């Protein structure tokens, strides 16, 4: 079994990341989906073997735009999402994940948490740790157990 903390769109909100720090040591992967890549400098230094950071459309900090990860035999594609126009629909993202042989795609950019499925691909957006303003933040918790992937959105009131 592998576990992942997935978050996105921190936009300089290191306080939100700080509230998650206690979870970093106990999870197998820490994934930031962009727009706040520089916010992850310290975390990347502390957990270099399990931290993945995407470059978002608002990032100037060097990071890869897209990643693939295999956990328990499940291939996971992740990116910020702007390149796939995720604010209008998710079909391009699902098609790219499927083309890469991935059953899961993680994305951010919209600032809205969502778990959905399209064309057999599980699509997970953790929302934003910072925005929308006044509504609190959110992150995603993923568990990969064999070929089964369980995604949960955790809202700010919980953490």
pLDDT at 159: 46
How do residues 58-111 score in pLDDT, each as one tens digit? Answer: 998 888 899 999 999 999 999 999 999 999 999 999 999 999 999 999 999 999
Residues 146 and 136 sit within 8 Å (Cβ to Cβ)? no
How do residues 14-70 score in pLDDT, each as one tens digit? Answer: 888 998 999 999 999 999 999 999 999 999 999 999 999 999 999 988 888 999 999
Cα gap 8→135, rounded to integer Å: 15
pLDDT at 24: 97
What is the residue extent of each domain of the chain?
A: 2-155
The two tokens of residue 56 are 């978002």
pLDDT at 130: 78
Fold exhibited by the domain 2-155 = Purple Acid Phosphatase; chain A, domain 2 (3.60.21)
How do residues 131-159 score in pLDDT, each as one tens digit? Answer: 765 566 899 999 999 999 999 999 865 44
Residues composing the chain = 159
First to last CA, the chain: 23
10 Å CB burial of residue 158 (0-12, 13-18, 19+) is exposed
């Amino acid at each position: 079994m592998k576990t992942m903390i997935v978050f996105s769109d921190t936009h300089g909100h290191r306080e939100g990341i700080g509230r998650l720090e206690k979870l970093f040591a106990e999870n197998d992967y820490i994934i930031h989906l962009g727009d706040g890549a520089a916010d992850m400098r310290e975390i990347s230094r502390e957990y270099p073997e399990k931290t993945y950071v995407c470059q978002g459309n608002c990032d100037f900090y060097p990071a890869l735009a897209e990643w693939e990860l295999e956990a328990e035999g499940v291939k996971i594609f992740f990116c910020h999402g702007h390149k796939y126009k995720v604010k209008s629909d998710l079909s391009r993202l699902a098609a790219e994940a499927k083309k890469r042989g991935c059953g899961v795609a993680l994305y951010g950019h919209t600032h809205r948490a969502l778990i959905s499925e399209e064309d057999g691909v599980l699509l997970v957006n953790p929302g934003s740790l910072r925005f929308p303003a006044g509504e609190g933040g959110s992150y995603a918790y993923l568990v990969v157990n064999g070929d089964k992937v369980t995604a949960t959105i955790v809202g700010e009131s919980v953490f």
